[in-house]
Structure 1
Amino acid sequence: MQGTNAGEPAALGFSAERLERIDAWMRSLVAEGKLAGLSVSVMRGGQTAFARAHGLADLARARPFTLDTITRIYSMTKPLTSVAVMMLYEEGRFQLDDPVARFLPEFSEMRVLTGGNRIKFDSEPARRPITIRDLLTHTSGLTYGFMEATLVDELYRRNGVDFHLKDANLAEVVGRVARLPLLSQPGAQWNYSVATDVLGHLVAVVSGQDFGDFLRERVIAPLGMMDTDFHVPAGKLPRLAANYTLFRDRSLKLYDDAVDTAFARPPAIASGGGGLVSTAADYLRFCRFILNRGALDGVRLLGRKTVELMLTNHLPGDLASMGTPRFAESSYTGIGFGLGFSVMLDPARAQILGSPGEVAWGGVASTAFWIDPAEDLAVVLLTQLVPSSALPIRRELRVLTYAALVG
């Protein structure tokens, strides 16, 4: 696999026999028709201990799912956007407790929903400004329209808060967000949201550069993530996987084609919250960059202390203690949140194998990664199944991986 050296499992502290359980699990998911195809990559000490792919990337065209298959990583874009934000932070452009309205004045007079209905809602002034740290930790009071759980979600849908539109730009959609009420007071609750897309606009305003260009030129290219972008160019399109969903009878139904897809063209908006495609090798490079505390192959993008701050829980407790989370790409109990990642606080409370300080996140098409600094370990799971809650594959893979770690 490009970007990492292959190592013998035993030399990396793994049982080769136990790693084969991952392979059997992958094959069973495909054989049972739960997934069209998938890949799993396990890295320790900068070397690949396990990298396999099974099944098909495209059922209609019978294209195999391989280790260089390109997938929509959706919310696994968020950690890269957070890195871009922290690069500007290191340049002294802002402080984390600065109000975002210092740079995006449309957020100057925010109000918080207190009641009402879709015709007329009640609100009160926000008690304090939204800070940049609030956006990085999803404690800003913003939300996602797709959750369909609250009146604010409904207002997002009705007012075109969608970062995948073809007839708007990033600034316009962020402006729509700022005109709507917050779901909660800034800093009061953890709520997964469009905050990282707002951060993408912040990067553009502070840097004076289009956000997509900034991410490509300042983060993606220096890290050598050659197949990571906001669209798939024509020459690479045969490597893009189709995206599926589980139908009512538990059969796979096409969600987004591998050829007739919006990802075949550059988007109108570079979504910092969920717009990237990537490969297993590319995302492992990003994981190595985090494990190396901000540097990779002689290229340093962040200082060591900055990465350590990103990997630290910034909540007063876990997600479960911050209100009632409506959706997350992780469990709530025993899990905190840093600057762009979930942070494992207590594996016993989370009821899953892991290490305190481990960071992770996933995408809506069931992709996932986690980075365990205590074990010098990173794992990347790529597949294409919407939604990510359809199957418990992330937790299953976590158990299988840690069970193979013997040294």
Structure 2
Amino acid sequence: MSTATSLGFSPERLQRIERFLQERYLEPGRLPCAQLLVARRGELAYQTSLGKLDLERETPLPSDAVFRIYSMTKPVTSVALMSLVEEGRIALNDPVTRYIPAWEKLGVYASGQTGNFHTTPLAAPMQVVDLLRHTAGLTYGFQEQTPVDAAYRQLKLEHMFGGYDLEGFVDALAELPLEFTPGEAWNYSVATDVVGYLVQTVAGKPLDEVLRERIFEPLKMVDTGFFVREDQRPRFASCYQAKAGGGLELQEPADRSPFLSPPTLLSGGGGLVSTAADYLRFCNMLLRGGELDGARILSPSTVRLMRVNHLPGGRDLTELSRSLFSESTNAGVGFGLGFAVAFEPHRTLLPSSAGEFYWGGMASTGFWIDPVEQVTAVFMTQLMPSSSTQVRRDMRTLVYQALTDPQA
């Protein structure tokens, strides 16, 4: 069994991580909990589990705690779609209207409000790749920047529980304009939920079944799914919100969470719950070129295709983004097929490697995969919004300062 030292990490420097999390985040009440797993070449080098599963009951955080991972669902759904691409059942340059004919009439917003929108024709068709890289012209209601995202909020498009199912969700989008012609800009959006609809449509079975059969069961991700099973409830974390004046307030108690029941909308963009250990297996599969412990999910060439910058013109997010919000640092960062890609890592002002790919979730969870140093890391907590702290950036710094034998 490998040790941290044999994997190129300094045990003494790794100790800084726990001390930092305690002093900077947990003791001052800035985070309810923190869990970090770090692996190199697929072997676990470091793990820590701190804080409380539930602050009100003072329940210690178990190592197998179950978390809402929100947008960390996106890479999983994207991998499922790419497995169908490998089978020749869908292609990245296919027009989306081939699978959603009702979208033939979509136009770009010109003026007006909900119920009275005026649009102009698309200058280019929306392709499947636009959905994967968030250049489709869709948006999120929480952006609160345009009349289009106001319509998303009014229709409650992103509500997973008690609202639309995937078919109804896609039908509702057919009645709304796009923010821009596909390929012209980057905007963080419900695009990956539409990817989930494509997966479900092409595979001919519900999205949850596709993810279970193609990803979760082969990778032995036993705690990942669209709701919290009965046996998982004692391990399910409560979710908190940062208060304006400091401190935390309960945002969603674990014992009264809608995640305790199956959702109406199988959200490929934000619907999964998981554990750090499960998600690390997913990351290690991608690090190894699509295979883990004999389970082949994707080919190495497909993973390589996913983890390069696909933004038009090779630009980064500072040049192309119209988004109020994203789970990445924009400078030197592009977007691949399901996650951010650092192609000029020095511009992020973080220690990392060219080609590193990563993303995060609304409750401040995050992961990264460094194919140069062969490092994978998963960070879990439950604090909304993710912009409340810079803990995920801090974890990058703390992990890499402990890597004293690069490329060992």
TM-score (norm 1): 0.97
2:129 aligned partner:
133
Query: How much does 1:119 deviate?
Result: 6.4
**Deviations, residues 207-250 of structure 1 (Å, cap 9, x unaligned):** 11011111112111111100001111111101000000111221
1:304 aligned partner:
300
RMSD, aligned α-carbons: 1.2
- Using the TM superposition, name which of 19-28 and 320-329 deviates more: 320-329
**Deviations, residues 299-329 of structure 1 (Å, cap 9, x unaligned):** 1011110010001110121111114332100
2:387 is aligned, of 386, 389, 393, to 389
- Using the TM superposition, name which of 357-366 and 210-219 deviates more: 210-219
Q: In the aligned structure 1, how far is the partner of 2:269 from the partner of 2:321?
A: 22
2:9 aligned partner:
14
Q: In the aligned structure 2, how far is the partner of 1:234 from the partner of 1:119?
A: 42
Q: Is 1:361 matched up with 2:365?
A: no
- Using the TM superposition, name which of 159-168 and 267-276 deviates more: 159-168
Q: In the aligned structure 1, how far is the partner of 2:299 from the partner of 2:108?
A: 36
Contact in 1 for aligned 2:163/2:265 (Cα 8 Å): no
SS at match of 2:105: coil
1:72 is aligned, of 61, 68, 75, to 68
Q: In the aligned structure 1, how far is the partner of 2:241 from the partner of 2:159?
A: 21
Q: Is 1:164 matched up with 2:148?
A: no
Query: How much does 1:7 deviate?
Result: 3.0
SS at match of 1:27: helix
Q: How does 1:39-188 map to 2 (within 5 A)?
A: 39-118=35-114, 120-188=116-184
Q: In the aligned structure 1, how far is the partner of 2:373 from the partner of 2:395?
A: 16
SS at match of 1:79: helix
- Equivalent residue letter for 1:346: E
- Equivalent residue letter for 2:369: I
**Deviations, residues 154-187 of structure 1 (Å, cap 9, x unaligned):** 0111223124141431100111112100011100
Cα 1:175–1:119 change in 2 (3 A) is: closer
- Equivalent residue letter for 2:111: G
Contact in 2 for aligned 1:163/1:173 (Cα 8 Å): no
Cα 1:119–1:88 change in 2 (3 A) is: closer
1:268 is aligned, of 251, 259, 264, to 264
Q: In the aligned structure 1, how far is the partner of 2:245 from the partner of 2:54?
A: 20
1:258 aligned partner:
254
Contact in 2 for aligned 1:108/1:129 (Cα 8 Å): no
2:343 is aligned, of 337, 345, 353, to 345
Q: In the aligned structure 2, how far is the partner of 1:67 from the partner of 1:213?
A: 27
- Give the aligned length: 402
1:324 is aligned, of 315, 322, 336, to 322
1:240 is aligned, of 236, 240, 248, to 236
1:3 aligned partner:
none
Structure 1 residue runs without a partner (length 5+)? 1-5
Cα 1:10–1:257 change in 2 (3 A) is: same
- Using the TM superposition, name which of 332-341 and 214-223 deviates more: 214-223
Identical positions, percent:
46
Q: In the aligned structure 2, how far is the partner of 1:23 from the partner of 1:71?
A: 20
1:218 aligned partner:
214
TM-score (norm 2): 0.96
- Equivalent residue letter for 1:171: E
Q: In the aligned structure 2, how far is the partner of 1:148 from the partner of 1:204?
A: 30
Contact in 1 for aligned 2:109/2:178 (Cα 8 Å): yes
1:334 aligned partner:
332
Q: In the aligned structure 2, how far is the partner of 1:288 from the partner of 1:235?
A: 26
Contact in 2 for aligned 1:40/1:381 (Cα 8 Å): yes
Q: In the aligned structure 2, how far is the partner of 1:291 from the partner of 1:254?
A: 36
- Equivalent residue letter for 2:397: V
Contact in 1 for aligned 2:156/2:163 (Cα 8 Å): no
SS at match of 1:198: helix
Query: How much does 1:349 deviate?
Result: 1.4
2:196 aligned partner:
200
1:295 aligned partner:
291
